[in-house]
Structure 1
Amino acid sequence: MAAPSIKRRMLVILLGIFAVVWMSVATITFMNVRREVRDVFDAQLAQAARVLATLVRDEVKEFGEDGSIADDALSIQIHDLEPDFMFQVLLNNTVVMRSQSAPLAPIWDRPGYKSLEESGNRWRVLRYQAAGNPAVIIVGGRRTERTRLVQSVAIEAMWPLLLALPVLALATLVGIRQALLPLRRVRDDIRRRTPEELGPVDTSTVPKEISRVIIALNALFARLVEALERERRFTSYAAHELRTPLAALKTQAHVALAARDDRQRQKAVENIAAGVERTAKLVEQLLTLARLDPPHAELRRDAVDLGAAVRDVVGGLRDIANANNITLVVDVHDGAVIEGDHAAITILARNLIDNALRYTPAGGQVSVTVACADAAAILTVSDSGPGIPEGERRAVFERFYRMVGSKAEGSGLGLSIVQRIAELHKAAIDLANRPEGGLIVTVRFPLRKERKS
């Protein structure tokens, strides 16, 4: 199916309007012409009746006792249109004089105008009697003659308008083409661009009717530039981060191959296993970010018990805490039910607690609490590590960001993932340092509203 054309649509609409206007003008003109012709004919009938009444007033003596005229001069036809007109002169309601086309009996018996049919012909007649005159005059004309005259005048009046329609159509087409020139300029501008040219379209010469479309298009270009730049940075950072563990794996593999005793070989294999684990975790985090990045984020909206999810995460990390001699304290209150994706909430809690465990030294403590306050479910994770300087608290949410001097292992993606999951759940994150040392991370989720059944 062909795409709709604005030019064709405008042309059809305007020509339709012109046609309706033309038909309206033609109808009004025809009605006016018909009324004017009728008035002129009626005036002629009135004038003819007055003339006849004046002429026959003094000639009544010439009529015989049988009511006939003294001579037959009226029987001679002088003009071809005479049959379209007629008159009758009546005395005592008897026809004493008539034209050749008039019937023998009076055609109308009441004074005034009347449209009637006689002998298959339609007539417009006038019955008139002057004051003090015994003679009654009836004059008439065939309506067919009036109709021919009306049609002739109307056609003469309509011909110029009818001939003007093609001229109007051509002028309209040219006008529409000129009006759509800015659209063609925008089209040509976009068509000439390469995939790398995503700058805004110039709106200085764009009509205001389509300026909003161009503004929306420019906003789309800006989002594309941002998305492409984000993907470029992500790919660059990911390649850089993967290069280091892969190089380490390669080195350990060479060490294992060149080992001269089992202890050296075993150590190299253990290093390889640890490197594979770190690389797998990095790849997992990269995939998580890719899944959460717009517009690919597709999260479920289920009722999630935040406390239960946190208990599960703590259960999986308690062995790590014990192995590093870190006290893991958990205080979870019931009723903290939020709306969201259970898997994403689990990832958020695991990343926060895992970060706290990695930055907390041996003998330290990590506290995890879940509580409800002010229509919010609040997850708090605090540790006894080094904390984060105030000037870096915004930067730590950037991908692959690592604080200078940090000795803890990691890819710098954990807090980026936490922030993205929080955004998708309309949650707020706050970072603060403990007075006695360490970091407090607070995440406030809106509580799930009870739905009426």
Structure 2
Amino acid sequence: MKWPKRSIALPVAGLLIVGMACVMVLSTVLTLGVFLSTNVKTKQRMNADVVGKLLQSGRAYDSNGRLVLEQKGIPATIMGFANAEPSFWYLVSDGSQTVSHGTIPSSVDQIIKAAPSEIFASEFYYTAGEERFLALRLVDDSDPRVVIALGGISFSNFQTIFATLWAVWPQGLYHLLGLVLVTTVTIAAIAIRHTIATPVRRVVDAAAQIDGLPNGRRIPDADTPAELRPMVAAFNTALTRIDAAFEAQRNFLASASHELRTPLTKLRIKLDLVKDPQVREPLIRDATRLASIVTTSLQLARLSGQSFAFTSVDLTAIARSVITEHVPRAIKQGLEIELRAPKAKVAISGSEAAIRVALDNLIANSLRHAPSADIIVVEVLEAHQLKVIDHGPGIPTSEREAVLRPFVRGASAEAEGTGMGLAIVAQVIHAHGGSVVLGETPGGGLTVLLTFPHGG
């Protein structure tokens, strides 16, 4: 399983592993502590068994052949606990040599000697002073001559737990607990990951559907976990603030453009009264360009962030209607506008008014920037596409992406352009979920391809 960078589930799984391990260790220690404090006989028997095993495993012979006991590491620590007790004693004999520690009570010595060698393990109690102790006698099953006896062990609860936990290690208990721990944590980690990922994925999917339009979609919080609700609320609040700022900007631009149209119209009329043509013509061109800027700014303000009402529209009918409006200007410039369209209806789901604005700007751009051409072609394709083909100067490849933004004009564009025609086209097509591609016309010029999603 591959974990993503900065995963939430990974540290949670890590904490779970540490937490479960601590709980297992503490529960084991507490269980043993409670058990040993309430059952003295079991405590003595466990201690005797551990020390007996240490004496069996530590039996060795030195270089001179003498019987010795060798203990290292934890076994030496446990034997240190035992040797520190005044009542502790042991005896290790191989039949010819004996190693002993402490004082063996006479009553116990008699029992050890009287016990038959056929009994490999026996235990009995004896009294020393006012205390009652457990004694243990062991015979090595591989060599009956080896006899081990011990007694007088009086470990504290801590020492008993320490010795017991070490003694059960070779028996595989810890391995089993570790396997259970790893299995449980692995399952829990996967569950935690999916538990975290599922609500986060719902939030991400809801955010991906936000269309960026004013008063558009918001992230629902009905099924959102309490931990994610502050984030969702903050995100929705930010969207509301962006909407408010965008709407204020849009209203300002629309109001300013609208208010400028009337004085510009009056100015245009008054400029016709200027008698000197050398003064009148440049002023009329400037006023016309200013009026064009105002008009396109108003169009852009109306289209920006607007949620269009989509209906089934026919691209051929829209193209024919828009071309008709531009025919008088084309004739005046000595141009021909040709419509190429299939006989069948090319229906899409869209806003007729918005598509008309986009196509109107494309044809106006072609008329403005290709005045010396002979023909402008508007082609409707069955694949829900519109093409506007001219034979003007075209747009260099390096500038084609930039000119789709407002107020950006190509380096070869004439001064009369506003730099917003193609931006309006891009805005309309983006709202329809389509695409705009600027290409080169064979023989020179610009070909603009508008692609709309299927449906109608």
TM-score by length of 2: 0.43
**Which protein is bigger by CA-based radius of gyration?**
1
